[in-house]
Amino acid sequence: MSFKSKRMIAGLVASLVLIVGYIFYAMNTVAIKGDDLQSWAIALLVFLGISIAANIVVQIVFNIVASIGISVREADCDDKKAERLIESSIQEDEMDKLIDRKANYATLVATGLGFISALVFLALGYPAVTAIHIIFFAIFLGSFVGGIMSVYFYEVGVSHV
């Protein structure tokens, strides 16, 4: 498995843990009740902030661990060669840009469909709290689908699709 796939999987696992944490929070009896949109919006913003910070920390820790792993695996080489190996695994090329474009498209489609679903629910008379949760989960689902597409394209290749 490639370095970039492993990095993406680490981010996906962190996001999955955070969304499960939010689900437990939202279903908790101490959680906000009813149609208090301001309180739900604050809770969602807090979880988005935590998610962003957690993903940054996970990526930093992953890069440190991966660099140590490459250095240990290539123990017979000098520091400059190990540094070049690490640099080459992080460098972005045309394939990375194509994969990013395809994954971003999948992210936008999933997020857009979630937004449209939220509008449909509002049009059918559901509470606004339902709509903001649908949008929140659509953002999560969109980024998750994009991440899975990235891993798929890195492992199988973009020419197969």
Encode pLDDT of 21-65 as tens digits.
888 887 775 556 667 788 888 888 998 899 999 989 998 998 888
Question: What is the DSSP annotation of 55-119?
Answer: HHHHHHHHHHHHHHHHHHHTTTS-HHHHHHHHHHHH---HHHHHHHHHHHHHHHHHHHHHHHHHH
Amino acid in the structure at residue 5: S
What is the predicted pLDDT for the residue at 40?
84
What is the predicted pLDDT for the residue at 16?
92
Encode pLDDT of 79-115 as tens digits.
676 667 667 666 777 888 888 899 999 999 999 999 9
